[in-house]
Amino acid sequence: MTNFIGQTGIYCLGLIDSQAFVFQDVFFLVLLAIQIPAAAILLSRLLKGAVRRPPLQPQLPNPNFFGAVSVVVPTLNEADRIAPCLEGLTRQTYEVREITIVDSRSTDKTPDLVRVAQATDPRFRLINDPPLPPDWVGRPWALHNGFLASSSHSEWILGIDADTIPHPSLVCSLLEMANREGFDLITLSPRFILKYPGELWLQPALLMTLVYRFGAAGEVGSSPERVMANGQCFFCRRSLLEKVGGYTSAKGSFCDDVTLVRNIAATGAKVAFLDGANVLKVRMYEGMKETWEEWGRSLDLKDASTSAQIWGDLAFLTLVQALPIPLLILTAAIVASGNTTLPALITLGLNGALIAMRLGLNAAILQSYDRAQAKGAGLFWLSPFADPAAVFRIFLSSTRKPKSWRGRTYGG
């Protein structure tokens, strides 16, 4: 009897183990069925980087472009960071006809700094935008008013943010590229200045959510609804902006740059998102907290996308960016315990490959960072471990409408 009970117990334990293996295999097979296609999509996007346009290079001034560009800079309490931008703009050569600072009634010393620049460079002028209408977001409203106030003799409008540092040849390089390639609109990916440990860890992971979804700067052939843009440097033909009504089609968007560029691309205009690391730097946020709160809440691009695009991209990022490290740890533990099955081994290999790809991309984007002032610069290489948090941040921003933005408060 005792022998029978023992045999029965062994049989039951074997049955339980068998069921556990079946459940494990079903789990991994289902996971692989959705993760493998996502990985294939990612690989196809990244392979396009091999034929992308090279980074924009500094160019010498061209007298044929005299007075071709009006620069517009929107400001609201930018005193702590606008000085390098103003200095960079004063060093632009005769391509720039005027530099209009559209201030939204700053309460700090922003207007004073502009007036100092104006005293040595007559191209500067300071204006205030009218009170913000209820259906507008502050940044596109300021840019729109700067566009309306610009000289009709300028062929191009350059919208540039106060936290950027323009290279002296920024404008002539944009003009050379636009005229050579026939572009109607160019936006640039900058070189990011990072200083503190937390942002060195988080910021590259947030940037990678854009690379995974839209590819690297300089890629060609994107459909209008998948075009990427960066409003920190927005270079557009004046005639084209007039045609689309300035910034009105993006007036209520918290990602107005992408919204406007996609609207313009849909008209058949030739647009480009290029690597501008050699001609433009930016210091966006101070530390990890600001990076998480300020940049993270706009990266979902929900104001420029359909619901299907938003949630499709979120599912894609989860499969290829958020899950690989947790899944690698899980499958490695299963294999180490001796519970090895073919689906587990395939999952281990796939996620190991995704992590290797991610580490390679970290090396590829290194040129997009200025770490000369960084504390704990080595944390940049640990940014893949921030990927789950970065994707979670995209999820949070996808489900929430901003209530404050760049010093303004919005209802709803």
DSSP letter for each residue of 222-255: --GGG----TTEEEEEHHHHHHTTTTGGGTT-TT
Q: CA of 17: how far to CAs of 10, 21, 96, 245, 339, in Å?
A: 10, 6, 74, 67, 10
Residue 273's pLDDT is 96
Q: What does the pLDDT look like over 119-138, one tens digit per residue? A: 999 999 999 999 999 999 99
- 298: pLDDT strictly greater than 90: no
Structure tokens at 308: 């299907």
**3-class DSSP state for residue 273?**
strand
Q: How far apart are CA 218 and CA 205, in angstroms?
A: 20
Q: Calculate mean pLDDT across residues 387-409.
A: 86
Contact between 232 and 190 under an 8 Å Cβ cutoff? The reply is yes
Mean pLDDT of the chain: 92
Range of the domain at 162: 63-203+215-287
pLDDT of residue 109: 96
Distance from C-alpha of 301 to C-alpha of 310, rounded to nearest angstrom: 8
Is 325 within the bounds of a domain?
A: no
**Residue 230 falls within a domain, yes or no?**
yes
Q: What is the SS3 string spanning 348-388?
A: HHHHHHHHHHHHHHHHHCHHHEECCCCCCHHHHHHHHHHHH
| Type of residue at 123 | R
CATH of the domain at 74: 3.90.550.10
Number of structural domains in the chain: 1
Q: Note the pLDDT of residue 18.
A: 59
Decide if 406 is inside a domain.
no
What mean pLDDT do residues 258-287 have? 96
What's the whole-number mean pLDDT along residues 247-269? 95
Q: Answer yes or no: is 1 within a domain.
A: no
| Predicted confidence (pLDDT) per residue in 6-44, tens digit | 454 444 444 445 566 688 889 999 999 999 999 999 999
pLDDT at 412 over 60: no
Which of 12-21, 96-105, 159-168, 323-332 has the least mean pLDDT?
12-21
The rounded distance, in Å, linking the Cα atoms of 360 and 354 is: 10
83 part of a folded domain:
yes
Look at residue 267 and tell me if it is in a domain. Answer: yes
- pLDDT value at position 5? 46
> DSSP per residue over 183-224, as a string?
-SEEEEE-EEE--SHHHHHHHHHHHHHHHHHH--TT-----G
Check residue 201 and give its pLDDT: 97
Q: What is the mean pLDDT of residues 371-393?
A: 96
DSSP-based three-state secondary structure for 70: strand
Environment class of residue 261 by beta-carbon count within 10 Å: exposed (0-12), middle (13-18) or buried (19+)? buried
Phi, psi of 332 (to 5 degrees): -65, -40
The pLDDT of residue 15 is 40
Phi (first) and psi of residue 78, to 5 degrees = -110, 15
Number of other CB atoms surrounding residue 96 within 10 Å: 25
User: What's the Cα-to-Cα distance from 111 to each of 102, 103, 128, rounded to whole Å?
Assistant: 10, 7, 10
- Residue 138 to residue 160: CA distance in whole angstroms: 15
pLDDT tens, residue by residue, 177-203: 999 999 999 999 999 999 999 999 999
pLDDT at residue 411 in the model:
65
Alpha-carbon gap, residue 174 to 41, rounded angstroms = 32
Q: Is there a domain that residue 46 lies in?
A: no
pLDDT at 405: 66
- Encoding tokens for residue 89? 């703009």
